Amino acid sequence: MIVLVARYQMPPSRRPEVEAALAKMADQVHETEPGCRLYQVLRSTEDAGLLLLVEHYEDEAALLAHRETPHFREIVEGTILPLLHHRQREVFELVLGHGRAP
């Protein structure tokens, strides 16, 4: 399992726009990307301009395919990135995990 963690830093006034775009992105990922096992967006309780994305992919090929989708290019690259001050991404391999559905 490949895990992508991304921090999106933006002006707090832009957060509603970014969250709306990420909601569209999440719908597209759910509908068209079977290799994506989890797509979460978390809002910081301490920084109004910070979102954290956590994405689980079954393998590196699924992550690479995600980055090549039309919805990634349109929504993330075309809409979200211009609204951000900074984006930091890190990729991990899942070593150990246990979770329950909310």
From first to last of its 102 residues, the chain has per-residue pLDDT tens of: 999 999 999 999 999 999 999 999 999 999 999 999 999 999 999 999 999 999 999 999 999 999 999 999 999 999 999 999 999 999 999 998 776 544
pTM over 0.85: yes
In which element (H, E) is residue 87 found? strand 86-93
In which element (H, E) is residue 93 found? strand 86-93
Phi, psi of 33 (to 5 degrees): -125, 85
pLDDT value of position 100: 57
What the chain holds in terms of domains, given with CATH numbers, is 2-93 (3.30.70.100)
pLDDT value of position 2: 96
| Alpha-carbon distances of 43 from 28, 64, 84, rounded to whole Å | 20, 25, 15
